Amino acid sequence: MKIGNIELKNNLILAPMAGVTDVGFRSLAINYGADYAVCEMVSAKALKYKNKKTEDLLITANNESIKVAQIFGSDPKIMAQIVKSKYLSKFDIIDINMGCPAPKIVKNGEGSALMRNVDLAFNIISECVKATTKPVTVKFRAGWNDNINAVEFAKMCEKAGASAITIHARTREQFYSGFADLNLIKQVKNAVKIPVIGNGDVVDINSYKKMLATGVDAVMVGRGALGRPEIFSELLNKNVLDNKLNDIKQHINILRQYYPEVFVVKHMRKHILWYLKGYRNSTQLKTEIVKEKNLDNVVLMLENFFENLNKKEEV
């Protein structure tokens, strides 16, 4: 599959997730077979005003051969200005978020709120496309609550010049509950000629095959990758060894290259809890990790846990 002039190999993508898809986690996902991993979404307005925390979300890893940024906003001029700014100069693809359901986003008319304002959404996309020679893609939802307008919205994105679209087939009202509507994804795929990326409920090989059956050109994995960057290798039918401890260490080491220790300690807590999900007798360890303020001590605790785990398995 191609997005503009960018060619994918595996047609597998890690979805942008706020507070999750940091530079370390993205690097791991790519090592396991994702073609690219999208940065956490960033506010175009915040970049315009040179917000340092927002800029830090755009740090990329050495193995990100295809770099993808996702921006959000509701002002076409500001969005276009940021697309051609220095902040996005290193990125190969620019994705526009028109699907985020978070109240603080939609109250400003951004994210999935744009599905209620198709004319404005068209202007944003077309202005961004005019501002760059790079592929511009759009991620959106099934619709705003009961108004399921994904098919019409997809056609609008194509008309506005988008090089590809991603549909998360849940409504804004659903947030992440219920199930993604795979039949709607199929309808969207049949309605446009540009590549369609399917998103929603892909957590294993079974759900992956169901998504592929819709006819999508590529598959985006979101929450199914939490604590499991190896899911991309699993979907590619590759043998995956249990390298959980190494993954955690690598994740920590990458973050330490770019961020202050105090940030890495707090940020990694939730990731480590996800990494440990499903491991027996890990409850006490999780409790201790949440309280521990020294990351080196956390690593020691993890090493002891996995060493004891391996000894039990050998017995």
Active site residues: 100
Overall size of the chain counted in residues: 315
Both tokens of 12, joined, read 């597998």
Sign of the dihedral through C-alpha 288, 292, 295, 296: negative
Say if CB 214 and CB 189 are below 8 A apart: yes
Query: Can you tell me whether residue 13 is helix, strand or coil?
Result: strand
Token look-up 């929603």 returns 200
- CA gap 141, 111 in Å, rounded: 10
- CA gap 102, 111 in Å, rounded: 8
CA distances from 200 to 48, 73, 89, 111, 210 (A): 32, 23, 30, 17, 11
- CA gap 28, 254 in Å, rounded: 10
